[in-house]
Structure 1
């Protein structure tokens, strides 16, 4: 991408802002510095905050998409100013993938569209409210459009009003979904698993068949066409199915009346999280609960792991249950994953993101309400009006009233 220069007036002379592609050798240190600067700003208001450590790899979160880019905003200041002539003041990442948007009414098969996912938008606290964020998003949209993206979407905490205003008021995005992020801390003790439950690990090919033809068929949104790539990734720790212990073998064409299924994505090699800004009392309570749980595991105290040091997360996706016994099987499946995480040093939480419309999953998936939150997904059509044959072809204008939503683990 060729650099595009724009002029901004900061009240101190003309400042040229260049939006260009990230260059590993040239920009790595500057982008890391920007990340830390933005994190310091988020933790300096006296409230607890969750900081993200990309472990020295600014493009870690987008490496596993089929097509991606990272853009930076660099300022070139007038020589009359006393500040540095060049400085990276903003960054944003984006990727393009093919996902389902529901079924084709004529064939009842999934309809796939090219979408851009926007993430990792950061602007230096000293250069906000100067149009940098909007220019980064606009340039990223143009990059994605040139590569065939028909829509763009983003996700943010539903309480992040500044981000919501940027995308909905300034960049013309429409609110689409409000999924809930369910967080379950990994305790020092193992969770019991019902002896009447059998847990089976599925091979990637069988898992793909189940997801594509049984679970997330035509009636789904955001189901990735490259699901096989996700399931065979080194970050995917496996797809697991819980069935009654009386079930001997699995036949993909004839599953038992009740079952539960999910996949586990390991974020530890991509990024780590850290909680900062808690009070001394809160810190002491968390540490005390962990110590007591370690010493007396049979009490099964719901302890809190060391979230004050960088920790990893297991992300659950592809969650689905069938049959009257499905919810109980899902609870056992989640307990199984919790125990996996407990045996993995440095894994502090098990996380799942479920559609807010499917409130039943909130009961099936163990979580701590105080640690969980609501996300907001917003979408925008990138193609021109004359490229859409009718309103029904427009995902934004004709969203299905009730579809299952697939959460891509790469998006977390």
Structure 2
């Protein structure tokens, strides 16, 4: 089932004066025909990393809207500079309804992809983009807005907490498992079954209803073309046709981000290239050793994103590890998939069962939040979490 994408046009704003009285900045809604090439060029100048050091580059596959396109309500704003209307900034946002815990739902906005051209900074362009996007989100009924950033990205955290009034809210962990040249073993006593979207939604709503950020439109995610499916690892003796949740199981869903963006590591020395290629060659020649080979991350690669991870019962950790191995083997057969990634709350019990490489993973991913509707009686920001589970929407990744 395809998503119905919002096509409402937002009133174009008037000209806004930048710090220099001789220069003007206009913030307006993104127009693909007019802005696509300019946005791609501008964002290429804002690559992560420092000169002389390795950097992780993101390629949006020629679609600047791809990271928000699968939300029913979304927008992308661009900032134009001067009479030539040079594109000097961009920001993306969406509005969705999620649980704030205890099955109570609220409309929230997710802000992402803020970029300002390096040669046009310190003109207040980022401020204009954030403020205009927040206003749009409020018009769409959002009570809160949140952003996600690496805890080591102090400029980004300071910008939103000190400039825009966001508060540090939840801390998550990003776990990354490289895809090796060999298959990972799955116990013969374990069966992996694929659940129909309707059954997966029913189980998720039973098990994760109290988790924060549980999306109300979960059925749209589970039926999206980018969703490879929901899988459950169970003892072979259980019959999934009964519709009864078994006492021992592990489950997760797989989102194919290969069709959204590709990643690439740049700035690595020739020696590092040679070492990584050597591990892959050795792993291919002697697969029985199951060596932890290093994938070719120096060419564009995609990732599978795991979400909705949950496990219960005896041997649930073994079931989850087997399920992750099953997904790894799926990725191994998919040319160009370099890693399997998930993001979990720091106290989520599933975290200890998910295979990952520490050197590839992020210990802390910071989520910051802001109350947009001052009249909202409940203050989610100062409330304690009702569950150790935080549901990470794959569309956010």
State yes or no: 1:17 paired with 2:25: yes
SS of 2:335's partner is coil
State yes or no: 1:327 paired with 2:317: yes
- Pick the aligned partner of 1:74 from 69, 80, 88: 80
Unaligned runs of at least 5 residues, structure 1: 78-84, 104-109
Aligned to 1:367: 356
- How far the C-alpha of 1:2 sits from its partner, in A, is 1.4
Q: Is the 8 A contact 2:161 2:168 kept in 1?
A: yes
Aligned to 1:227: 218
State yes or no: 1:47 paired with 2:53: yes
The equivalences for 1:132-211 within 5 A come to 132-211=125-204
Q: Name the CA distance, whole Å, in 2 between partners of 1:273 and 1:154.
A: 21
Aligned to 1:81: none
Q: Is the 8 A contact 1:266 1:314 kept in 2?
A: yes
Q: Is the 8 A contact 1:207 1:239 kept in 2?
A: yes
SS of 1:383's partner is coil
Aligned to 2:62: 56
- How far the C-alpha of 1:397 sits from its partner, in A, is 2.6
Q: Is the 8 A contact 1:101 1:111 kept in 2?
A: yes
- How far the C-alpha of 1:44 sits from its partner, in A, is 4.1
Q: Name the CA distance, whole Å, in 1 between partners of 2:392 and 2:241.
A: 25
SS of 1:348's partner is strand
Q: Name the CA distance, whole Å, in 1 between partners of 2:70 and 2:146.
A: 18
State yes or no: 1:130 paired with 2:136: no
Q: Name the CA distance, whole Å, in 2 between partners of 1:182 and 1:192.
A: 20
Q: Name the CA distance, whole Å, in 2 between partners of 1:362 and 1:262.
A: 13
**How many residues end up aligned between the 2 structures?**
386
Aligned to 1:86: 85
Q: Name the CA distance, whole Å, in 1 between partners of 2:347 and 2:271.
A: 37
Q: Is the 8 A contact 2:212 2:387 kept in 1?
A: no
- How far the C-alpha of 1:129 sits from its partner, in A, is 2.6
State yes or no: 1:381 paired with 2:389: no
Aligned to 1:249: 240
SS of 1:396's partner is helix
RMSD of the TM alignment (CA)? Answer: 1.3
- How far the C-alpha of 1:7 sits from its partner, in A, is 1.6
Aligned to 2:7: none
Aligned to 2:380: 395
- Pick the aligned partner of 1:271 from 261, 264, 288: 261
Unaligned runs of at least 5 residues, structure 2: 1-10
The alignment's TM-score, normalised by the length of structure 1, stands at 0.91
Aligned to 2:40: 32
Q: Is the 8 A contact 1:43 1:277 kept in 2?
A: no
SS of 2:104's partner is strand
20-29 vs 299-308, greater mean Cα deviation:
299-308
Aligned to 1:8: 18
Q: Name the CA distance, whole Å, in 2 between partners of 1:208 and 1:143.
A: 30
Q: Is the 8 A contact 1:200 1:241 kept in 2?
A: yes
SS of 2:82's partner is strand
Q: Name the CA distance, whole Å, in 2 between partners of 1:45 and 1:31.
A: 22
SS of 1:94's partner is strand
- How far the C-alpha of 1:401 sits from its partner, in A, is 5.2
SS of 1:307's partner is coil
1:371–1:4: structure 2 CA closer, same or farther, 3 Å change rule?
farther
SS of 1:404's partner is coil
SS of 2:176's partner is strand
Q: Name the CA distance, whole Å, in 1 between partners of 2:387 and 2:208.
A: 13
State yes or no: 1:336 paired with 2:351: no
- How far the C-alpha of 1:357 sits from its partner, in A, is 2.1
The alignment's TM-score, normalised by the length of structure 2, stands at 0.94
